[in-house]
Structure 1
Amino acid sequence: MNPLQARRAELRDFLRSRRAALKPEDVGQPSAGFRRTPGLRREEVAVLAGIGVSWYTWLEQGRDIKVSPEVLDAVSRALRLGEPERAHLHRLAGLNSPLPRDAHTEGIPPRLQRIVDRWMPYPAKLVDRYGNIPVFNRAAREVFGLTDENNNQAVRFFLDADWRERFPDVEAVAGEVIGFLRAQAARYPDDHHFMDVAQRLRTESPLFRTFWDRHEISLATRTTKTVTHPRCGPLTFEHTALDLSEAPHLRLHLYAPDEQTAASASFRLLLGQLAGPDRAVA
Structure 2
Amino acid sequence: MHAEVHAGTAATTDIGPPPFDGARVRRRELADFLRSRRERIAPERVGLPRGRRRRTPGLRREEVAHLASVGVTWYTWLEQARDIQVSAGVADAIARALLLDGSERSHLFTLAGVTDPAPENGCDGVPPALLEVLRQLEPMPACIQNSRYDLLAYNRTYGHLLCDLDAVPVEDRNCMLLAFTHDEWRRALVDRAETVRVMAANYRAQLAEHLAEPAWKHMLRRLQRESAEFRELWERHEVGRTTSGRIKRFRNARVGLLHLYGNPLWLAPQLGARLVTYVPADEETRERLEKLHAMVAAGG
Query: Could you state the TM-score of these two structures normalised by the residue count of structure 2?
Result: 0.53
Q: Is 1:174 the equivalent of 2:197?
A: yes
- Equivalent position SS for 2:50: coil
User: 2 CA distance for matches of 1:31 and 1:163?
Assistant: 59
For structure 2, the 5+ residue unaligned runs are 1-17, 169-174, 208-214, 251-256
Q: What is aligned with 2:263? A: 237
Kindly indicate whether the alpha-carbon contact (under 8 Å) linking 2:265 and 2:276 is maintained by their aligned counterparts in 1.
Answer: yes
| Equivalent position amino acid for 2:246 in 1 | T
The number of residue pairs the alignment matches comes to 240
| Equivalent position amino acid for 2:198 in 1 | G
1:272, distance to aligned residue in structure 2 (A)? 11
Q: What is aligned with 2:4? A: none
The match for 1:214 among 233, 236, 254 is 236
CA 217–57 in structure 1, closer or farther in 2 if over 3 Å, else same: farther
- Equivalent position SS for 1:224: coil
CA 59–211 in structure 1, closer or farther in 2 if over 3 Å, else same: closer
Q: Return the index of the structure with the highest Cα Rg.
A: 2
CA 44–20 in structure 1, closer or farther in 2 if over 3 Å, else same: same
The match for 1:27 among 46, 59, 65 is 46
Q: Give the alignment of 1:221-232 within 5 angstroms.
A: 223-224=243-244, 226-228=246-248
1:59, distance to aligned residue in structure 2 (A)? 2.1
CA 14–38 in structure 1, closer or farther in 2 if over 3 Å, else same: same
User: 2 CA distance for matches of 1:110 and 1:8?
Assistant: 28
Deviations 1:224-269 (A, max 9, x none): 2522569996635225599xxxxxxxx9973247xxx79x8x57x9
For structure 1, the 5+ residue unaligned runs are 203-207, 243-250
User: 1 CA distance for matches of 2:195 and 2:203?
Assistant: 12
Kindly indicate whether the alpha-carbon contact (under 8 Å) linking 2:224 and 2:231 is maintained by their aligned counterparts in 1.
Answer: no
1:88, distance to aligned residue in structure 2 (A)? 2.7
| Equivalent position amino acid for 1:52 in 2 | G
| Equivalent position amino acid for 1:74 in 2 | A
1:24, distance to aligned residue in structure 2 (A)? 1.0
Q: What is aligned with 2:5? A: none
- Equivalent position SS for 2:276: strand
Q: What is aligned with 2:84? A: 66
Query: Could you state the TM-score of these two structures normalised by the residue count of structure 1?
Result: 0.56
1:137, distance to aligned residue in structure 2 (A)? 3.0
Q: What is aligned with 1:153? A: 179
Kindly indicate whether the alpha-carbon contact (under 8 Å) linking 2:91 and 2:108 is maintained by their aligned counterparts in 1.
Answer: yes
Kindly indicate whether the alpha-carbon contact (under 8 Å) linking 1:90 and 1:97 is maintained by their aligned counterparts in 2.
Answer: yes
CA 120–9 in structure 1, closer or farther in 2 if over 3 Å, else same: same
Deviations 1:97-130 (A, max 9, x none): 32332x5xx7796998965544424322488x99
Q: What is aligned with 2:218? A: 187
1:164, distance to aligned residue in structure 2 (A)? 1.9
1:90, distance to aligned residue in structure 2 (A)? 4.2
User: 1 CA distance for matches of 2:149 and 2:248?
Assistant: 25
Deviations 1:132-179 (A, max 9, x none): 9996533676xxx6355999433669964x8424x8xx6454331687
Q: Is 1:97 the equivalent of 2:123?
A: no
1:32, distance to aligned residue in structure 2 (A)? 1.6
CA 173–26 in structure 1, closer or farther in 2 if over 3 Å, else same: same
User: 2 CA distance for matches of 1:87 and 1:172?
Assistant: 31
Kindly indicate whether the alpha-carbon contact (under 8 Å) linking 1:20 and 1:40 is maintained by their aligned counterparts in 2.
Answer: yes
1:79, distance to aligned residue in structure 2 (A)? 1.5
1:65, distance to aligned residue in structure 2 (A)? 3.4
- Equivalent position SS for 2:244: strand
Query: Which structure carries more relative contact order (alpha carbon 8 Å, separation 6+)?
Result: 1
Q: What is aligned with 1:120? A: 138
Kindly indicate whether the alpha-carbon contact (under 8 Å) linking 2:201 and 2:239 is maintained by their aligned counterparts in 1.
Answer: yes
Q: What is aligned with 1:44? A: 63
1:19, distance to aligned residue in structure 2 (A)? 0.5
